[in-house]
Amino acid sequence: MSENHEYSGPIPDKSSLSLRGDCENCFGLCCASLPFAASADFAIDKDAGQPCHNLQSDFRCGIHTSLRQQGFRGCTVYDCFGAGQKVSQVTFGGHDWRQAPGSAKQMFEVFPIMWHLHELLFYLTEALALQPAQSIHDALRSALDETERLTLLSPDSLMELDVAAHRADVNALLLRTSELVRAEASRQQKNHRGRQKTYGRGADLVGANLRGADLRAANLRGAYLIAADLRGANLRVADLIGADFRDADLRGADLTESIFLTQAQLNAAKGDVNTKLPPSLTRPAHWSTL
Ligand code: SF4
């Protein structure tokens, strides 16, 4: 699989399949490993390590085409960043947990660890494509190499990994990347009035009226934008890492050149044909029905 390659210099493509879920090569790990609670996003409770009752013997979802209608909206907004196929095909060498039930517990526990590592690979890959951050590209490349190396560890070594510490190191680089990119964007905005908008990590913007807001180069890291009205907002070069867009209204919003935006964030939001997206992301199918 493509995940086996070692990074060797050129800036990788963020949209490459190795950083996107490939269900064909995964043993249904997100559907077995992760817990969920009955809510607006999930119709049932499920414990971690308990395979979902909709997961078929071929590791396909039995209600894939009607997840939203059947109360499993949360499944449609999840992205494993390629961790599922990495664990299935590389870490466990293509031996699935139904054929080798003795490996199931460890495989289900390794999956969330791999998810964290692949999420970091996704962000680091994007950071390496951002020219204003060129001064730290060497550090970003080293972090990418190290993260890739960690994904190739054995199951036992992955279980012992201090993911939080590695994540903190990488996050410092991503934060610096964000500062460099947004500062450059602000310099280029000839008619930009005032300072970059900074809400701080985890800002509470739930239900906020941000219709038509000028959020260019804003820091929205981890902001809670649940059900916020962002219609027509300008979010170019805004840092959107970890922002919660559930039910946020992005119709007509401009997200081109926003940084650290994921497909899962988009899938959780509302939008339309007038929402402008970064080229590496795709318009969610359910937007066409809004
Ligand atoms: S409903 Fe389908 S996609 Fe969601 S956890 Fe169950 S099997 Fe997986």
CA dihedral 37, 84, 262, 273 (to 10 degrees): -90
Centre of ligand 1 from the C-alpha of residue 110, in Å: 19
What tokens were used for 260? Answer: 């650290």
- pTM of the full structure: 0.89
pLDDT of residue 190: 60
Which of 41, 54, 66 for a ligand 1 pocket mutation test, highest count of atoms within 8 Å of Cβ? Answer: 54
Alpha-carbon span 241 to 261, nearest angstrom: 6
**Cβ(185)–Cβ(205) below 8 Å:** no
Residue 65, strand partner residues: none
Sign of CA dihedral 63, 66, 72, 75: positive
Angle at 109 between CA 107 and CA 114, to 5 degrees: 85
Taking CA atoms, 166 is separated from 11, 115, 117, 137, 243, in Å, by 21, 13, 9, 18, 21
**DSSP SS3 for 29:** helix
Centre of ligand 1 from the C-alpha of residue 62, in Å: 8
With a cut of 50, list the residues of the chain below it in pLDDT.
1-16
pLDDT of residue 5: 31
Q: Nearest CA to 119 among 49, 171, 76?
A: 171
pLDDT of residue 197: 67
Is the shortest distance between the CB of 61 and ligand 1 below 6 Å? yes
Centre of ligand 1 from the C-alpha of residue 63, in Å: 7
pLDDT of residue 7: 32
Q: Is 34 exposed, middle or buried (0-12, 13-18, 19+ CB in 10 A)?
A: buried
Which of 44, 45, 55, 79 for a ligand 1 pocket mutation test, highest count of atoms within 8 Å of Cβ? Answer: 55
Write the pLDDT tens digit of every residue in 4-19: 333 334 444 444 458 9
pLDDT of residue 289: 62
Alpha-carbon span 18 to 239, nearest angstrom: 24
What tokens were used for 50? Answer: 């308990």
Residue 229, strand partner residues: 209, 249
Is the shortest distance between the CB of 63 and ligand 1 below 6 Å? yes
Q: Which atom of ligand 1 is nearest to the CA of 34?
A: 5
Alpha-carbon span 116 to 110, nearest angstrom: 10
Centre of ligand 1 from the C-alpha of residue 158, in Å: 25
Centre of ligand 1 from the C-alpha of residue 48, in Å: 13
What tokens were used for 258? Answer: 């926003």
